Amino acid sequence: MEITVEDDLTIVCATHKGANRIPLFLDSIQMNVMKPKEIIICGTSQSDISSISKEFLINNNVSFIVSEIPNQTYQRNLALSKVKTSYILQLDDDLILDSDAIKNYCRHFNKPNTNKKIVCGYTILPNGEHMSYRVQNLYKNSRFIRVFYKIINGFKDVKNMSILKSGRIFPLVLDHHNDDKPEWLSSCLMFHKDAVDNQVHTNFENSSFEGKAYYEDVFFTSLLNKKGFTLILDKDIRLTHPYTHSIKPLEYINTISRQKQLLVMTGGSYVLFYLDVIASTIFYSIKHIKSQFNKRRH
């Protein structure tokens, strides 16, 4: 009897101080019409799952391992090393899955010869807006921003989920370009275990990135795309993420070295890279100063 995809699937999740997030995350998996064979959570303390009963963990095949290093990339790789199934779904601990999310992930792998795929879910905020709504609003409401993006892309039109000539990643922004093929994906990814052999190993101990794996996913998927893997962003796979704050100047500065790595990897332009970095640093600094000024006024 042939094993179904969901019966050969492990969900992998890294968490740090996740005691309030993990129960909601696991409940949303339990409520799915399809369940994975196993869930592996890599935390940094037993307190991450302190509110979850042993009975629940056993009944839902949840394994918990502790990492001595509080770093998302390190923890995720540690969890991946424990996977025994053919398919892997890596998720963040602050996501809430729609009840048919796992089913919609699995349908991409039901047919033969589908191992060279990476499928990404569609992450929304509680109000239904996509995670990239801030960039969407900026791009749609400012001609200056639209011109700026075109300039740092070598005066070429930008495309959804692309890497610009300056090394910047351009998210899901354009409504009328639904057929654009993604050049990168991030966060909520499902793939066959064969893809892990091609995984990008980066310096995850660099504290400047606070242990986040966002750009590691970009490198991982972009390189696999160059090796013939198909990248798919499926809008039917809905996952809800909490509201996030606007990016702060220091947070942007901490991404610059990653952007430079993407620049080198894609053969972009150093002139456009430095133009992008200087303009963006000024933009985020002014935006932050205005925000702080408005807070003091109120």
In this structure, what DSSP letter does residue 256 have?
H
pLDDT in tens, the chain (298 residues): 467 999 999 999 999 999 999 999 999 999 999 999 999 999 999 999 989 999 999 999 999 999 999 998 899 999 999 999 999 999 999 999 999 999 999 999 998 888 899 999 999 999 999 999 999 999 999 999 999 999 999 999 999 999 999 999 999 998 865 567 999 999 899 999 989 875 544 443 443 344 456 788 999 999 999 999 999 999 999 999 999 888 888 999 999 999 999 999 999 999 999 999 999 999 999 988 887 877 777 6
For residue 278, the Cα-to-chain-centroid distance in whole angstroms is: 26
Buried residues in 192-214 as b, exposed as e (16+ CB within 10 A): bbebeeebbebebeeeebebbbe
- In order of start, what are the domains of the chain with their CATH numbers? 6-132+172-244 (3.90.550.10), 147-167+247-298 (no CATH)
For residue 95, the Cα-to-chain-centroid distance in whole angstroms is: 11
Question: Is 222 in a helix, a strand, or coil?
Answer: helix
Q: What is the pTM of this model?
A: 0.90
